[in-house]
Structures are given as C-alpha cells and as structure tokens.
Amino acid sequence: MDDRLSAPAPAAPADIPSLDRLLHAPPFSALIGCYGRSRVGTLLRRQLAALRERALSGTLSRAELTEPALATQLAAALAEDGRSRLRPVFNLTGTVLHTNLGRALLPDEAVQAVARALTAPVSLEFDLVSGRRGERDAVVEELLCELTGAEAATVVNNNAAAVLLALSALAARREVIVSRGELIEIGGSFRLPDIMRQAGTRLIEVGTTNRTHPADYEQAVGERTALLMKVHTSNYLISGFTHAVDIPELQRIAQRAGVPLFADLGSGSLVELGDWQLPREPTVHATLSAGADLVSFSGDKLLGGPQAGVLVGRTELIAALRKHPLKRALRVGKLTLAALEAVLQLYRAPEHLAQRLPTLRLLTRAAATMHAQAVRLRPPLQQALGPGYAVTEAALSSQVGSGAQPVEQLASYGLAIRRLTGPGRTPSLARLEQRLRALPRPVLGRLAEDTLWLDLRCLEEADESAFLAQWAQLR
C-alpha cells in the first residue's frame, strides 16, 4: 500500500484559523474569562506564529488545528506562564538552613499568624490599652527580653541590617575596634568592612588573623572609640595556634574605655543546642550575661523563624537605634512580626521545641530514621531511574548551613545515584540532575565525586508520598 495515499496531507499556513475567529469561539471565551483578553491574545498570537513556522516546514497536521486542540494547547501555555517563580522544592542538598532555598521552614503556628495578619487589620502600631499609637517592636519585645534576659529589643529586616543600624546609630564618624580574625565575609556579599564604611564608621583592626590579645584592644582604645565589636566567625574556623579575647574580658576593656560592647552573633541560638546533642553555638542569653551590651542575630538561621535581624541589649542603646532614621528604612512588616512572635512563643516550652520547631526537628532527626527512609525509598527510585543508574543507600553528613557550625557535621542518611557504564546510552549525571530540577516539585541534591547525593534529612515522612508520586513524571 502506498503510504502517501493513507497519510493525511500536512496542514498549510492557510489552514490555520485567524486569531480573531478563535477569540470569539466558545473554548477561547472561557479562557478569556479566566486569564483576561490581553494575555489570551498575546499567548494565542505566539502559538499561531509557532504553528505557521511548522506549517511552512511541512510538519503540522490538520488534527492539531481543531478548536478544542488549539484551546487545550493554549490553556497549558497560559497555566505555565502563570506559574509562580517562587517554587517549592525538595531540599536534599544536606544543608538544612540553605540561604538560596529560603533558610528556616516555619511552624504551622507562624503560618496561621501570618494568615491572620494578612487578612485582618491588626494592632501593629496601636496600643489597645491606651487607645494610642504604639511601637511596632512591642509585638515581640517582651518575649525577646523574657527569652534572652535583655532589657530591651528591636527588630529589623535581617541581621546585615541590624549590624548596619547598630554601627550607624552608635558609631558614625567614630571608631569601632574589631579583631582581624573576625573581619568576616558571609555569603551573599555581607562584608563587615563594607558595612562599616557604609555606616560611616572607621574600622580599627587589631591583632592578627590567628591571634588577638586583650592588650591589642587596650592599645587601640582612644578618644574616638565608639564601640568594641565581637563578630561570631560563623562560616569558618581558625584553628591551630590561635587566641581570641572572650566576652567577659572584652567587657572589662570596654567598661574601662567607657564604650559599649556589641556582639554580632550571626546565627545565635536562644537555647542550648547541646541539650539535643547538637554542636554547641553561643546562646544570646549567655552572650548578654557574659557582658555584651548589645547583641544582634538572624531570625531565619538557628532561631528557625522568618527573615529578620534581632537586636537585644541595654535600654539606652536600643532607644538610640529606634531613634535613628535608618530604623524606619529597615523596619519589618506585620507578616514578619506575626511569624516571629509565633515562633518565639514556641520557645517558652523548650521541651516541645524539637517537635514543634521545624528547624530543630530537622537538625535532630535520628540517623536511624533516615536510614529506614533510605531503605524504603531506594527501590521506587531505582525503578523510576531505570537500569542505567545504580541507586544505593549511603551514610552522609549534613550541615546546619547559613554560617552556623561550619565545621561540625551531622550524621545523616540518604541515597547515592551513580551512572552505570555499559553498552546503553545512559545520560550523564549532570543531565539527570537537570531532569530532577524539571520535576513538578524540583528535587535538589548534591553532585560530587561522580555521584548524585540525595540527603534525606530534610525530607520528612509527611512529604514522602508527594516526593514519590512525581517520579513517574521524570522526563
């Protein structure tokens, strides 16, 4: 039989319906009702132009030109075009507080609080007792003082903003003394010397990269000294022949000089992480009681809350920060305060924290739990990937991330995917990693040593079925 007789003739450009006709046809009116005339018009024009190209190259069939077929294709394009750019992903990188993935996950209590603040007027800067205008910090100040032992507290947009505000308000046109070993750069271009310059502060570096002694600070103190500053070296560790001056000693020097001591804790924890057998991190409470006058830390690192920069310390210092014009520019919104308040409330019952606070829950997951999960997930994953890859269970180590605990690793479990070399043409691991990123909820692992590692620490049991369900869509 002659193929040319049975195969339908390809469609010609003239067979393509006009934009105007389609826009008046019922399935397209329905799309206009949903997406609006202008977007439907724009995407339909694009779709018709692509069809014209294919008609010219003889690869377009008439079956694709029926109204229902065209409308289905357009509906898919409209849905894709309207999809959020802020997509949920599976974080299997092994880094719990991943800055590029939005750091801490918030508890349900915070979600509810944010939803309430989004949909109803709230007493943000309104004192319900006096009926007068209030201070927005009041929403969380009492809680922060209760949890840290501070006299006063204020909140800004992130910890970089907190440091900028503290330096601008307390040390503009004057000098701040910092150890050379603490002149940090944090990912995302937070460099302490740059922030100092921006604040109009003169940086006085003392000591050497590995060793700084009390005398180094004492010799640097002068008439123009505004602050002594200690920075938690959160994303690296200087080890070996080292010496740093601790907070109590710095406090003695600051007191003699008559200037405050400011500590940027970076992550800063409100609880003793050692209580959960986690690597220790200085707590805000301990830093204040050791003698710091002002302490700053992030809301979305170990605290496990929303992005924010928290400043706690002596009343007159916090008052000076509040009066500075930058405070207004760096202030947080009601959503941040609602979420932060809900998270801080959880800290009042520390014995439930490892269950209720997602960050702590993830950090304290038992290796045995993740091992059982790896055993469960390996077969379906192997099946989805096919015989070109080998999936095995693997002991891994995950990290806290966001600068906290740069060296300490947490024993974890996961899956290792390797490409089998054989006669088949199995795509590379780099290609596989791309395909995982193209899943409806992208799966992000870590590619190293010719292996794609999927650390299961951040895949909680509740998300497992959603994780498994989408592997059928691997393209």
Ligand X SMILES: *Cc1c(COP(=O)(O)O)cnc(C)c1O
* Binding positions for ligand X, rule: CB under 6 A: 158-160, 163, 184, 186, 190, 231-232, 234, 264, 266-267, 298, 309, 402-403
Smallest distance from ligand X to CB 113, Å: 20
Nearer to ligand X, 48 or 163 (CB): 163
Nearer to ligand X, 311 or 396 (CB): 311
What are the tokens at 361? 């829950």
Question: CB neighbours of 306 closer than 8 A, spacing ≥ 6?
Answer: 104, 106, 110, 299, 300, 335, 336, 339, 340, 343
In DSSP terms, 90 is beta-bridged to: 443
Nearer to ligand X, 262 or 347 (CB): 262
Smallest distance from ligand X to CB 161, Å: 7
Nearest in space to 270 (alpha carbons), one of 259, 257, 281: 281
Smallest distance from ligand X to CB 460, Å: 25
Nearer to ligand X, 307 or 398 (CB): 307
Distances (CA, A) of 369 to 100, 438, 459: 26, 28, 11
Q: Is 469 left (phi over 0), alpha (psi -120 to 50) or beta?
A: alpha
- Other Cβ atoms within 10 Å of 241 Cβ, number: 7
Nearer to ligand X, 309 or 414 (CB): 309
Rounded to whole angstroms, the Cα distance separating 20 from 40 reads 12
Nearer to ligand X, 266 or 445 (CB): 266
Smallest distance from ligand X to CB 422, Å: 46
Smallest distance from ligand X to CB 246, Å: 17
Rounded to whole angstroms, the Cα distance separating 166 from 150 reads 16
Nearest in space to 47 (alpha carbons), one of 21, 23, 77: 77
CB contact at 8 A, 409 and 397? yes
Nearer to ligand X, 42 or 99 (CB): 99
Residue nearest to ligand X (CB): 266
Nearest in space to 430 (alpha carbons), one of 449, 455, 452: 452
Smallest distance from ligand X to CB 100, Å: 12
Smallest distance from ligand X to CB 114, Å: 19
Nearest in space to 160 (alpha carbons), one of 263, 264, 304: 264
Smallest distance from ligand X to CB 102, Å: 12
67-81 and 37-56 helices, crossing angle to 10°: 120
Nearer to ligand X, 231 or 311 (CB): 231
Sole residue written with tokens 């055993």: 375
